[in-house]
Chain A
Amino acid sequence: MQSGRVTRRRTSDSNRSGAIDSESRNTAAELIKANRELALQNIEKEKRAAELLLANLELAYQNEEKEKRAAELIIANQELLYQNEEKEKRAEELIVANAELKKERRQRGIITDRLSFHLENTPFGFIEYNVQMEIKSWSRQAELIFGWTEKDLKVLKKSGFQFVHADDQQLVAKLINDMTSGKVISNKGQYRSYTKSGKVIWCESFNSALRDDKGQVVTIMSLVQDVTESKEQEEMSRRRLELLVEERTCELNEALQKEKELVELKSRFISIASHEFRTPLSTISFAAESIRTYFHKLSATQISKKLIKIEDQASHMVNLLEDVLTIGRSEAGKIKVKRISLDLQEFIESLIEETRSTVLEKREINFSFLCNDRMISTDDTLLRNILNNLITNALKFSDSDKPVGIVVSNTVGHIQIVVTDQGIGIHNDELTEIFESFSRGSNASTIPGTGLGLSILKKAVDLMGGTVSVVSQPGKGSEFTVTMPLQ
């Protein structure tokens, strides 16, 4: 603008001088032209300045963009650097993982080798099946157990041969089904199998089913052991045990039977004992009541007889009680044999005298002592029981005019006592019963007695380890023989 005003001023100055001078006019024209040129140049310059301004602005913008781009590039560069670092790290990790993997593979290889070694050297046969139960692996031990090689198995499979004994096929099918159905992952069982030689062996197998991620069975493994020997031993033990149980059961039954018999015997004994006590008690009770009630109606003799009867029955009851207690003690095992050394001849002679003194009538007792040695070792109480019963019975069951004989002799290690009478005798069918408690001969009912004497005698002889026997004829007499060991 300033240059414009300068140009206009110069133009007015030239016009005033043109009138004066053409040169000056030319100069002025030239000046005008130059001015115009200058003006154009100024316009151009201005345009150029504007363009430069724009270009400058454009450049500034481009610079800004470049700066932005440079910043972005820096960031991208940094990102790349970071990514590179990550990649390097990852690469390092991969190297480590790879090394681990290699190590693991190596380890697995070692474990597999070890397992293989152990499997081949255990008594177990290793058999691996696929899901169709086709054999995939068959170890050396399996060959040893069954006798078949893997080649044999292929042939056998084609022929449809069944290894498992017919009686156990159902059991084995269940074992397999339980695993393939997923009911169990492992199980075990015992069954019989055929070997190549045709022998039947007992096998015990431990089975397991391996499944994939979807739960499908991949393989089934069986570890099979030949347990025939232990099974046979087990069977023998079982038989032995069965025999033992059978024996024990028999023994128990026998013991039970004996116990029952004993209970019955005791019950019978109590019943009979009660009866035997009730009868003399009745006599005592009736006699005493008669004396009291009919005292004035009865004669002195009648009363005396009744009193004697009461006394007799009371002493009968005392004897009965003694006998019952003796039997009770012997049955309870409370009577022990206590041997002492005694003069047998003297012992029997004194016993005969004792017995004689209790009998009203004079009785003939013939005693013969035929032993070499008078001294013997014996239980004096038991011997007294035996002899007392023998002599008393012989006197009691024979008429007072009939003699009683006692013969004592000895054989090797034994002493024999034979007592004979000529009394009422015993019926043949009653001979076995007379040694039982309360047993009395049918022809002896009128003769007082408890029915326990011979029972006590038998128990005493048993305790001494001896025997007693009797020979008798009704109406003619009896002969009792007692044999006892000297020691």
Chain B
Amino acid sequence: MKVVLLVEDTQDLLEEISLILEMEGFRVIVANSGHQGLERLQEITPNIIITDLLMPGMDGFDLIEKIKKDPLLMAVPIIILSAKTNTSDKKRGAMMGVSAFIGKPCKGFELVAAVRSFC
């Protein structure tokens, strides 16, 4: 079973996305912030990471930067799922080696298709 790390600070959304991914056969590990996401990554190396950008404390970009610097994690594909949909953020994500940038709101099947295509 493929493991997905889902980093999202909005609890309701976290629950909804988790449910869809689980229904589609993924094991979902959740984190409410960038810090929590890093903590989870100390315990497990997921097949893919889905992260929000605007989060209190450590934001999505800080988290991605840290992941990309970690030799054990740098190859893990990352999908940004954010309500920030401006071009500069998309460019920044692409420059950091992010696999996909999906803007909120999106359809569950779109997210699932993206996750499947990268792991």
Q: A275-B54, A289-B107, A442-B57 in contact; A283/B23 too (CB < 8 A)?
A: no
Interface of A is mostly: helix
In the complex, residue of chain B having the shortest beta-carbon distance to the beta carbon of A313: B12
A274, A283, A445: the one within 8 Å of B9 (CB): A445
A428 part of interface (Cβ distance < 8 Å)? no
Whether the Cβ atoms of A275 and B83 lie closer than 8 Å is yes
**Given A294-B23, A446-B11: A283 touches B16 (CB 8 Å cut-off):** yes
User: Whole-angstrom distance from the CB of A285 to the nearest CB of chain B?
Assistant: 4
- Is B84's CB within 8 Å of the partner chain A? yes
Chain B residues near A446 (CB, 8 Å)? 11, 32
A340 to chain B, nearest CB (A): 41
**CB-based contact A279/B56 at 8 Å:** no
B12, A283: Cβ atoms under 8 Å? yes
**CB within 8 Å of A: which B11-35 residues:** 11-13, 16-17, 19-20, 23, 32
Residues of B within 8 A of A442 (CB): 56-57
A294–chain B nearest beta-carbon distance, Å: 5
Q: Which residues of B contact A284 (CB under 8 A)?
A: 105
Within 8 A of B (CB), among A272-290: 274-276, 278-279, 281-287, 289-290
Are A279 and B10 CB-contacts (below 8 A) given A285-B105, A294-B23?
A: yes
Q: Which residues of A contact B17 (CB under 8 A)?
A: 286
Q: Which residues of B contact A312 (CB under 8 A)?
A: 12
Interface residue B86 (Cβ < 8 Å from any Cβ of A): yes
Is chain B's interface secondary structure helix, strand, loop, or mixed overall? Answer: loop
In the bound complex, residues from chain A placing their C-beta under 8 Å from that of B86 are 271
User: Is A297 on the interface with B (CB-CB < 8 A)?
Assistant: yes
Q: Is the CB–CB distance between B105 and A290 below 8 Å? A: no
CB distance from B14 to the nearest CB of A (A): 9
Which among A279, A282, A297, A309 has the greatest number of chain B C-beta atoms within 10 A?
A282
Question: Are A282 and B108 touching (Cβ within 8 A)?
Answer: no
A289 to B23, CA, bound (A): 12
Interface contact B107-A282, CB-CB below 8 Å? no
The docked-state distance in angstroms from the alpha carbon of A279 to that of B54 is 11
Contact call B104/A290, Cβ cutoff below 8 A: no
Q: How far is the CB of B54 from chain A (nearest CB, A)?
A: 7
Interface size range on B against A: 20 to 34
Query: Of residues 45 to 89 in B, which have CB atoms within 8 Å of A's CB atoms?
Result: 54-57, 83-86
Q: Is B106 an interface residue (CB 8 A)?
A: yes
Please determine whether B83 and A289 come into contact, CB atoms closer than 8 angstroms: no
Indicate if the CB atoms of A275 and B108 lie closer than 8 Å.
no
Does the CB pair A281–B105 fall under 8 Å?
yes
Q: Which of A86-123 contact B (CB under 8 A)?
A: none
Q: How far is the CA of A446 from the CA of B13 in the complex (A)?
A: 12
Q: Does A358 sit at the interface, judged by CB under 8 A?
A: no
Say whether A282 contacts B106, CB under 8 Å. Answer: yes
Q: Which residues of B contact A445 (CB under 8 A)?
A: 9, 55-56
Q: How far is the CB of B60 from chain A (nearest CB, A)?
A: 13
Please, which residue of chain B has its CB at the minimum distance from the CB of A302? Answer: B19
Interface residues of A in 286-314 (CB under 8 A from B): 286-287, 289-290, 293-294, 297, 306, 309, 312-313
Please, how many angstroms separate the alpha-carbon atoms of A442 and B9 in the complex? 12
Asked whether A282 and B84 contact (CB < 8 A) given A289-B107, A290-B19, the answer is no
Report whether A278 and B105 are in contact in the complex, using a CB–CB cutoff of 8 Å. yes
Q: Do A289 and B11 touch (CB < 8 A)? A: no
**Closest B residue to A284 using CB positions:** B105
Using known A-B contacts A275-B83, A289-B108, A293-B108, determine if residue A283 contacts B10 with beta carbons closer than 8 Å.
yes
> Are A282 and B20 in touch, CB under 8 angstroms?
no
Chain B nearest CB from A213 CB (Å) reads: 83
In the complex with contacts A279-B10, A297-B23, A442-B57, A286-B108 CB distance below 8 A = yes
- The 4 A-B pairs at the shortest CB distance, nearest first, are namely A278-B83, A286-B16, A282-B105, A275-B83
28 CB-based A-B contacts, threshold 8 Å: A274-B83, A274-B85, A278-B105, A279-B13, A279-B104, A281-B104, A282-B16, A282-B104, A283-B13, A283-B16, A285-B105, A285-B108, A286-B13, A286-B17, A289-B107, A290-B16, A290-B19, A290-B108, A293-B23, A293-B108, A294-B19, A294-B20, A294-B23, A309-B16, A313-B12, A442-B57, A445-B55, A445-B56
- A residues adjacent to B (C-beta < 8 A): 271, 274-276, 278-279, 281-287, 289-290, 293-294, 297, 306, 309, 312-313, 442, 445-446
Given contacts A279-B10, A286-B20, A294-B20, could you give 9 more A-B pairs where the C-beta distance is less than 8 Å? A274-B83, A278-B83, A282-B13, A283-B16, A286-B16, A289-B108, A312-B12, A445-B56, A446-B32
